[in-house]
Amino acid sequence: MRDLTLSGRCAVRTPKTVRSAEALGRVRLSHSFFMRDFLHSEIGNVHGIPNLPDDPDFAIEAGKRLCQELLEPLQRIFGRVGVRSAYRSSVLNAYGNAHYHNCASNARNYARHIWDPRDAEGCMGAMACIVLPWFADRIAEGTPWQAMAWFIHDKLPYSELQFFPKLGAFNIGWREVPKRQIYSFVPPRGYLTRPGMANHGGDHAQFYPGFPELA
């Protein structure tokens, strides 16, 4: 599973066996999250497409930043983070884009759902689609999705947020150079905020009353 690079650093090879895939899954990304938590894919399961990184070392480093800087703080505040979709291999993402149209192109998903290459601007990044049961319950009671969007915007170093109609689920992305933009697929679709919009700066606490304090 591991060999030494010329620099003496341990490198993780792309898994070719069940044992090496198990070893990759055991890699701990943060206090609560392991690499295995991010490798599930319904498309991969149904169509037999492996969802394993071409560059495991790079994917691990990007995943650590996503977990340590975004997912762990959310879990400390709101309780369990449910991962819906996270890492996608280039082959799997391309298949999803071509056949199901619910995956962006590979070029658009580099440094987002495809963690292991950098994007066109040379940035490392990683994204996961998550559900917070705490928030799903409040969505069902009428809390708007914008409440969580503005809370994260004010409190955490995210790059992108994208909100979906079911369960209050949303994509959350970390990137070396954050884009700081929030988009909704909940009608009316469009940007809630991004750099240059009048609402981008300042405090937005009035939109999330009753939310827990950031620990």
Instruction: Please compute the mean of the pLDDT values over residues 79-103 and round it to a whole number.
Output: 92
pLDDT digits (tens, 9 = 90+) for 12-44: 667 878 898 899 999 999 999 999 999 999 999
Sign of CA dihedral 52, 42, 90, 128: negative
Residue among 152, 148, 158 at smallest CA distance from 125: 158
11-20, 102-111, 171-180, 192-201: which has the minimum mean pLDDT? 11-20
pLDDT tops 70 at residue 8: no
- pTM of the shown model: 0.91
Mean predicted lDDT score pLDDT of the chain:
92
% the chain with pLDDT above 70: 93
Considering only residues 6 and 54, tell me which one the structure prediction assigns the higher pLDDT: 54
- Tokens for 155? 């409190």
Residue among 79, 66, 84, 67 at smallest CA distance from 211: 79
pLDDT tops 90 at residue 5: no
pLDDT tops 90 at residue 90: yes
15-19, 191-195, 200-204, 209-213: which has the minimum mean pLDDT? 15-19
pLDDT digits (tens, 9 = 90+) for 136-152: 999 999 999 999 999 99
- Tokens for 153? 């915007």
Q: List Cα–Cα distances, 123 to 106, 161, 184, in angstroms.
A: 15, 17, 24
pLDDT at 208: 97
Angle formed by the axes of helices 133-140 and 145-155, to 10°? 140
pLDDT digits (tens, 9 = 90+) for 150-192: 999 999 999 999 999 999 999 999 999 999 999 999 988 999 9
3-state secondary structure of 40: coil
Helix locations, the chain, DSSP H: 18-25, 42-47, 56-66, 72-78, 90-99, 106-109, 133-140, 145-155
